[in-house]
């Protein structure tokens, strides 16, 4: 379970049975840019898919800035003091400590075509009472797989591996990975359409593009077992 | 011997740019070494020392443990330290850009002309740049209490509350109102008073009287049973044992600094 540190409580409402308080949480604001022209859409859709699947991804919300919508990724490494990003030599230990979460992340990244996982991950390693494993940054997935969204959609739909490198390749246990792949395959088409569709054009992403992405993701979830099977030798843990 | 080092700092308020050094990452003779507050030479980490570094973040001291492990892993990661690899610079630049509570200083170099023993050099750097504490600051009574209540899992009981004000009606008199610093208000109910038994005798006497009267009223009214009237204490000095004997007639004394305190509370709450 991820929790997010309150930066400030700014007041309590006197009315209402639960007497709610107003507070501020820390977040990283992400915008569309030349390098990642569909960043906000990608982050938001990846987050909705992760929520639907219960994949271990940091929470985030849409917000508005002077330039229109932005994505605010809540800082999960913010329990008052920032946590370090994981290091390569720690990956074996993380995969041993969180085998189910590591498999979830591999399956999820394969599904959304996120080839940029790198060290975008926080995990608690030496604190027995703290279970923390959460990934962030999905701007290079979905429509960001290629520089052109049409090519990204084509690659996703055609069942290409896309994720050539991943911190947990060679470290995931088959039993957990298969569980997560099955979960993705079982995802209803309707849920995928809801995750990808905003019901209106969203920044530079037309409704047609949203629809095409949903179609591609529906094809990709069906192709996922074959993708994993085809590359099992380097995705799954080595003896 | 040339030594290059970076310091890790904790900043209570990152915007003020004032930090407290808590760890040292030093590279000398082709090896990388870590020295940090609370880190023993055998690598054992005692986070109690971080009460002095981040006194307002008691609940988050575990994060320092994660950082110290991270530093040890980074120090042992040979390929990260090769002269061609920009990895360490990239890592620390990214950390600096975040402007969060834990930051790292730019690398500094010193020529060490003293002993050729690296450990001596590290001791010297540690002493000058981080400071050495012979023992960690004592754990305050409030922290002992919170830890015991958490470990015993009483805090997760339905009805667990802090600062519970209870009013007991007295026939023909004004109601008696008392505050339990901790209470479980759902059956089986429990009421807690806290007495550290340190400080002025007058204050101790006042607290004891408050506890005695509160528990007496609570039992008389049927709000509590004697077995669940709890006084959380520290080790009671001999001079104050007379109060302990008085309290024991009406309540259960639990020394929160004892290892078995969480078990004792669990048993009393069963």
Domain boundaries B141-269, corresponding CATH code: 3.40.1350
Q: Compare CB distances from B57 to A80, A126, A129 and report the shortest one's residue.
A: A80
Cβ distance B69 to A125 less than 8 Å, yes or no, reads: yes
Please tell me the least confidently modeled range out of A64-73, A164-173, B256-265: A64-73
Q: In Å, how far is A110's CA from the nearest CA of chain B?
A: 26
Contacts of A79 in chain B (CB under 8 A): 59-60, 63
Which DSSP string do the residues of A77-138 spell out, in sequence order?
A: T-SSSPPPPP-GGGHHHHHHHSHHHHHHHHHHHHHHT----TT-EEE--S-TT---EEE---
Q: Compare CB distances from B66 to A80, A83, A129 and report the shortest one's residue.
A: A83
Query: What is the reported pLDDT for A5?
Result: 64
The sign one gets for the Cα dihedral B141, B147, B151, B155 is positive
Q: Which residue has the higher pLDDT, A185 or A10?
A: A185
Quick one: what percent of chain B has pLDDT higher than 90?
Answer: 54
How large is the ipTM? 0.80
Are A135 and A58 a contacting pair, CB within 8 Å?
yes
Contacts of B101 in chain A (CB under 8 A): 80-82
Mean pLDDT of A186-194: 98
Contacts of A84 in chain B (CB under 8 A): 66-67, 70, 95, 102
Q: Is A129 on the interface with B (CB under 8 A)?
A: yes
Instruction: Report whether pLDDT(B219) > 60.
Output: yes
| Residue in this structure with the two tokens 């992340």, named with its chain if needed | A105
Contacts of range B208-212, beta carbons closer than 8 Å, 24 or more positions apart: B208/B243, B208/B246, B208/B247, B210/B178, B211/B247, B211/B250, B211/B251, B212/B246, B212/B247, B212/B250
Instruction: Report whether pLDDT(B114) > 80.
Output: no
Which residues in B have their CB inside 8 Å of a CB on A? 10, 45, 54, 57, 59-60, 62-67, 69-70, 73-74, 76-77, 80, 91, 94-95, 98, 100-102
Give the H or E element holding residue A181. helix A174-185
The answer to whether the pTM exceeds 0.90 is: no
Query: What is the reported pLDDT for A204?
Result: 92
CA B91 from centroid of its chain's CA atoms: 29
Q: In Å, how far is A147's CA from the nearest CA of chain B?
A: 25
Query: What is the reported pLDDT for A3?
Result: 67
What would the pLDDT profile of B138-191 be if each residue is shown by its tens digit? 888 988 999 899 889 999 898 899 989 999 887 888 889 999 999 999 989 999
Per-residue pLDDT band at A56 (split at 50, 70, 90): very high
Show me where the domains of chain A are located. Answer: 6-12+21-235
Strand A27-30: give its sheet, edge to edge. Answer: A27-30, A68-74, A60-65
Which residue of B lies nearest to A131 if distances are taken between CA atoms? B62
Q: Which two tokens stand for residue A58?
A: 């940091």
Among A26-30, A130-134, B202-206, the range with the most confident prediction by mean pLDDT is B202-206
Instruction: Report whether pLDDT(A79) > 70.
Output: no
Q: Is A80 on the interface with B (CB under 8 A)?
A: yes
Helix (H, G, I), strand (E, B) or coil at B42: coil
What does the DSSP 8-state code read for residue B223? S
Q: Is the peptide bond before B146 cis (omega within 30 degrees of 0)?
A: no
Q: Which of residues 22-41 of A touch B (CB under 8 A)?
A: none
Q: Compare CB distances from A87 to B60, B65, B74 and report the shortest one's residue.
A: B74
Instruction: Report whether pLDDT(A31) > 70.
Output: yes
Residue in B50, B60, B62 to test binding to A, most A beta-carbons within 10 Å: B62
Instruction: Report whether pLDDT(B226) > 90.
Output: yes
Per-residue pLDDT band at B25 (split at 50, 70, 90): very high
Contacts of A130 in chain B (CB under 8 A): 62
Q: Is A126 on the interface with B (CB under 8 A)?
A: yes
Mean pLDDT of B34-60: 88
Give the H or E element holding residue A12. strand A6-12
Are B125 and B147 a contacting pair, CB within 8 Å?
no
Which residue of A lies nearest to B10 if distances are taken between CA atoms? A81
Using only C-alpha atoms, chain B has a radius of gyration, in whole angstroms, of: 26
Among A46-50, A130-134, B51-55, the range with the most confident prediction by mean pLDDT is A46-50
Burial class (CB in 10 A: 0-12, 13-18, 19+), A233: exposed
Among A98-112, A122-136, B27-41, the range with the most confident prediction by mean pLDDT is A98-112
> Which residues share a beta bridge with A25?
A6
Which DSSP string do the residues of A167-178 spell out, in sequence order?
A: TTTTTB-HHHHH
Q: Which two tokens stand for residue B61?
A: 């001291």
């Amino acid at each position: 379970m991820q929790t997010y540190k309150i930066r400030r409580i700014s007041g309590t409402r006197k009315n209402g049975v639960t007497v709610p308080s107003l507070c501020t949480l820390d977040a990283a604001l992400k915008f569309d840019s030349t390098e990642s022209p569909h960043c906000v859409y990608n982050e938001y859709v990846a987050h909705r898919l992760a929520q639907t699947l219960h994949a271990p991804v940091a929470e985030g919300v849409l917000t508005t800035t002077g330039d229109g919508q932005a994505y605010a990724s809540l800082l999960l490494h913010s329990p008052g003091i920032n946590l370090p990003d994981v290091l390569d030599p720690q990956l074996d230990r993380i995969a041993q400590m969180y085998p189910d979460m590591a498999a979830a992340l591999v399956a999820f990244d394969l599904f959304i075509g996120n080839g940029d996982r790198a060290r975008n991950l926080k995990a608690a390693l030496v604190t027995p009472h703290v279970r923390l494993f959460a990934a962030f940054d999905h701007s290079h997935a979905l429509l960001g797989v290629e520089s052109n969204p049409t090519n990204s959609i084509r690659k996703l739909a055609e069942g290409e591996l896309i994720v050539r490198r991943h911190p947990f390749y060679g470290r995931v246990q088959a039993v957990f990975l298969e569980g997560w792949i099955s979960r993705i395959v079982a995802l209803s088409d309707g849920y995928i359409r809801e995750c990808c569709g905003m019901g209106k054009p969203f920044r530079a992403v037309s409704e047609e593009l949203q629809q095409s992405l949903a179609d591609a993701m529906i094809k990709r979830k069906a192709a996922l077992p074959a993708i994993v099977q085809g590359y099992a030798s380097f995705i799954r843990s080595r003896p | 011997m040339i030594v290059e080092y970076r310091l890790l700092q904790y900043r209570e308020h990152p915007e003020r740019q004032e930090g407290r050094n808590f760890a040292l990452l030093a590279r000398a003779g082709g090896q990388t070494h870590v020295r940090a507050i609370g880190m023993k030479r055998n690598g054992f980490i005692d986070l109690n020392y971080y009460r002095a570094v981040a006194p307002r973040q008691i609940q988050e001291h575990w994060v320092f443990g994660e950082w110290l492990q991270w530093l040890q892993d980074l120090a042992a990661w040979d390929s990260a330290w090769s002269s061609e690899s920009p990895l360490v610079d990239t890592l620390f630049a990214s950390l600096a850009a975040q402007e969060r509570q834990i930051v790292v200083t730019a690398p500094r170099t010193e020529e060490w002309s003293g002993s050729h023993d690296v450990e001596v050099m590290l001791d010297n750097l540690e002493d000058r740049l981080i400071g050495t504490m012979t023992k960690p600051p004592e754990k305050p009574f409030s922290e002992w209490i919170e830890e015991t209540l958490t470990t015993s899992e009483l805090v997760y009981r339905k009805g667990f509350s802090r600062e519970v004000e209870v009013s007991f009606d007295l026939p023909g008199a004004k109601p008696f109102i008392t505050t339990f610093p901790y209470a479980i208000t759902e059956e089986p109910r429990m009421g807690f008073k806290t007495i550290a038994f340190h400080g002025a005798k007058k204050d101790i006497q006042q607290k004891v009287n408050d506890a005695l009267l509160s528990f007496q009223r609570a039992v008389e009214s049927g709000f509590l049973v004697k077995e669940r009237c709890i006084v959380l204490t520290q080790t009671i000095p001999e001079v104050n044992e007379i109060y302990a004997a008085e309290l024991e007639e009406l309540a259960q004394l639990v020394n929160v600094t004892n290892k078995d305190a969480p078990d004792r509370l669990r048993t009393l709450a069963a």
